[in-house]
Amino acid sequence: MSDRFMTQMQMARNNIVSEEMRICALGEGVPVEVIMEKLANGQAVIPKNRLHNISKPKVIGSNFSVKVNANIGTSFGYSSLKEELEKLNVALSAGADSVMVLSTWGNLSEMRRIIVENSPVPVGSVPIYDSAVKAYEEGKNVIDFSEKDFIDMVYAHAKDGIDFMTIHVGITKDVLKKLKDSKRILKIVSRGGAIIAGWMIKNNRENPFYEHFDEILDIAAEFDITLSLGDGMRPGAVVDATDPQQLEELFVMSQLVDRAREKGVQVMLEGPGHVPLNEIETNVKLMKKIGKGAPIFLLGPLPTDRGVGHDHIVSAVGAAFAAYHGCDFICYVTPAEHVALPDVEDVKYGVIASKIAAVIADVARGNKKALELEHQMALARARFDWNKMFELAIHSEDAKKKLKSRPYESEGCSMCGPFCAIKVTKDFSEGKITVMM
């Protein structure tokens, strides 16, 4: 097989260094061999469809810096390509490492292609949304489509250059059977999961993604799409966390990870959803162990359900904790989560919150680059070097505005004025303050 037709995983297994591996190694500050080893054994992925020209590829997985994804896309009644492009640009300038186009209204394939064309970072999608939208537009129920539609939609997204796809493959008939009598309050909160479950119940059939997983793998291998095994059974409330349904789906995913790796397809797991802080470590460790070290694409975790309107903060707390314990890829949550379709400002604050969580985890995990940046920041603060501080900040726009809004004419800032602890200590160490004897 020519390396033109190999996935990043297959190239790594055959000791072929791709351009993306080289760029990622430079970005992470590690030898390319480290990237190759993790790609070859499935502990890391580089999502990149061979049809998508990406100038900023990302390696996602164990021991590499934690990455952040921003979801953009339209919804019923709110559909503007112009706004989606604005969201893309805001997400990128706030530091998103990837975007997912989750549009469910308007010309979906046109929007997807334009976002792919304009994105220098990997682009993800959830193909089943398109099948549901198509059925809805034809005046049918959102679950009225054929088994073939599922596969055709995956292929259509692949041809549009999508780099990673969520496939809700873990909800099998067995998993679903037990859900009805479970104690869960919110049975299914995943959009894709609910559509699949509805389809299975209506047609009394097995999950088509599960039944046709080999065909999906063939498409993924052809285009080198990274599959993200969607957790349709993720808990949607902290009181539902870590229950049998969530774990059963995880066991199904575990077998699918093996099947993907056998075909050289890059794969990651999604999860865990709404989980109290004291259960996050266990969830992460279970996902890593049962998922055989596959990278984890974090949904949440949201450690409380009562932060509505500020769920980007709730999620950042959970994500920092989860990433410290080994998660790799944070799917952002915006202030609009659970209440509205995010607007451009929500996208900005969602990415910033998740970047903060990622950096906190990188520092705690001992990432050399992250520690060096903290070191430089400490020096800049000690020198009152505001320009350097802003350059090193995760996102400095708001801080610059604050500094300007209440200026202070000497060293320090208007927070403490003449009682600036750093200034007093600096003066003292430079001999500007003498000790009275």
Binding site for ligand SF4 (CB under 6 A): 412-413, 415-416, 420-423
Residue 73 corresponds to which amino acid?
Answer: G
**3 state SS of 255:** helix
In this structure, the dihedral spanned by the alpha carbons of residues 126, 131, 137 and 143, taken in order and rounded to 10 degrees, is -110
Report the nearest approach of ligand SF4 to the CB of residue 419 (Å).
7
- The response to whether 312 counts as a known ligand-binding position is no
**3-state secondary structure labels for all residues of 81-132:** HHHHHHHHHHHHHCCCCEEEECCCCCCHHHHHHHHHHHCCCCEEECHHHHHH
- The response to whether 232 counts as a known ligand-binding position is yes
Residues in Cβ contact with 140 at an 8 Å cutoff, skipping those fewer than 6 apart:
none
Q: Contacts for 368-374 with beta carbons within 8 Å, 24 or more apart? A: 368/29, 369/28, 369/29, 369/65, 370/65
Closest to ligand SF4 by CB, 56 or 400: 400
- The response to whether 234 counts as a known ligand-binding position is yes
Alpha carbons 69 and 122: distance in angstroms, whole number: 9
Report the nearest approach of ligand SF4 to the CB of residue 405 (Å).
14
Closest to ligand SF4 by CB, 178 or 402: 402
- The response to whether 212 counts as a known ligand-binding position is no
- The response to whether 413 counts as a known ligand-binding position is yes
Closest to ligand SF4 by CB, 86 or 385: 385
- The response to whether 274 counts as a known ligand-binding position is yes
- The response to whether 62 counts as a known ligand-binding position is no
Alpha carbons 13 and 36: distance in angstroms, whole number: 8
Report the nearest approach of ligand SF4 to the CB of residue 317 (Å).
24
Closest to ligand SF4 by CB, 268 or 420: 420
Alpha carbons 229 and 281: distance in angstroms, whole number: 20
Report the nearest approach of ligand SF4 to the CB of residue 416 (Å).
3
Task: Answer whether 88's CB lies under 8 Å from 349's CB.
Answer: no
Closest to ligand SF4 by CB, 139 or 418: 418
Report the nearest approach of ligand SF4 to the CB of residue 396 (Å).
15
Alpha carbons 142 and 144: distance in angstroms, whole number: 6
Q: Which residues are annotated as a binding site for substrate?
A: 71, 100, 129, 168, 190-192, 231-234, 270, 297
Q: Which residues are annotated as a binding site?
A: 71, 100, 129, 168, 190-192, 231-234, 270, 274, 297, 338, 413, 416, 420
Q: Which residues are annotated as a binding site for Zn(2+)?
A: 274, 338
